[in-house]
Amino acid sequence: MTKMLRLRWTSISSGAALAALIGIASAVAAECPRKDALGTSRVLSVDARTTPRVGLKSFPQTLPLADHEVVLTFDDGPNPPTTSKVLAALAQECVRATFFLIGQHASQQPDMVKRIAREGHTIGHHTFSHPFMARIPFDKAKTEIDRGIAADEMALHGTSTTTPSTPFFRFPYFEATQAQLDLLQSRGIVVFGADLWASDWNEMTPEQELKLVTERLAAAGKGIILFHDPKARTAAIMPAFLRYLRENGYRVVHIVPSGTSQKNADAR
């Protein structure tokens, strides 16, 4: 096993074809008050019609990211004590991310859902109660998808609808049947996997998580990264992880649906 590195918390030291499938917005993130912040380098518009599924851990293709470009994603929230810390770290570095919300949690914490959107982040969907979707009947899985979307939309916009304002979805545990994938594709909803993850569902110290995810990123060079904002260890490492990105030349890409600069940023 590789010898543990000591990570300091204060400072840590097919492309063209796929790009044609995805519209890349020229807009950049709002002006950042901190000139030395990591910032958000660009906005990437993802079109469900041409890119229905992304993330190399689950699918053959991913987003058209250049070397040292990353997309930050967070699952299973919102959870106010930890999600607030993650949001504060992102705001400090002027970084925008995507949060895949569990509908049950969204319905319990509508103010936090609105805050996530108000601070410029994209809101995606992650079912209502986080079941193993490939192990339940199709009708029950469809209900989980619809209830989750409706709960997220009610928390965000005050309207219960199964048509998502942001058509981004991630399956719990990355488990899905072909019928479920086909359903979402027919509804124009992009299914997100990931290119690498922090494995923060496993018991470990914050320092171990930080070491693990930075080593994986260094090996991959780019990609969609999966975290879980309800995890205290993830909330704890986020300032140091963002500093690692800044100090090692990584650039953050913010994903939005095709045809919009930020559909869910108007929830204020």
Q: Is residue 157 part of a domain?
A: yes
Q: What's this model's pTM, rounded to 2 decimal places?
A: 0.87
Q: Is residue 33 part of a domain?
A: no
Which one-letter DSSP state was computed for residue 50? Answer: T
Query: Can you give the CATH number for the domain in which 160 is found?
Result: 3.20.20.370
Per the DSSP assignment, residues forming a β-bridge with 255 are 44
Q: Tokens at residue 198, please?
A: 């922090």
Q: Is residue 42 part of a domain?
A: no
Which residues form the domain of 224? 48-262
Q: Is residue 92 part of a domain?
A: yes
Q: Alpha-carbon distance 59 to 41, whole Å?
A: 26
Task: Using CA atoms of 99, 25, 145, 164 in order, give the dihedral in degrees to the nearest 10.
Answer: 100
Q: Alpha-carbon distance 113 to 44, whole Å?
A: 22
Q: Alpha-carbon distance 98 to 245, whole Å?
A: 17
Q: Alpha-carbon distance 54 to 124, whole Å?
A: 14
Tens digits of residue pLDDT in 187-232: 999 999 999 999 999 999 999 999 999 999 999 999 999 999 999 9
Q: Is residue 28 part of a domain?
A: no
Question: What residues are labeled active site?
Answer: 75, 228
Say how far residue 110 (Cα) sits from the centre of its chain. Answer: 19
CB 125 within 8 A of CB 98: no
Kind and range of the H or E run holding 100: strand 98-101
Q: Is residue 89 part of a domain?
A: yes
Q: How many domains does the chain have?
A: 1
Candidate from 7-11, 46-50, 143-147 with smallest mean pLDDT: 7-11
Tens digits of residue pLDDT in 10-61: 333 334 333 333 333 333 445 788 889 999 999 999 999 989 999 999 999 9
pLDDT of residue 32: 84
Burial grade of 17 (CB within 10 A; 0-12, 13-18, 19 or more): exposed
Nearest to 83 by CA among 240, 185, 228, 213: 228
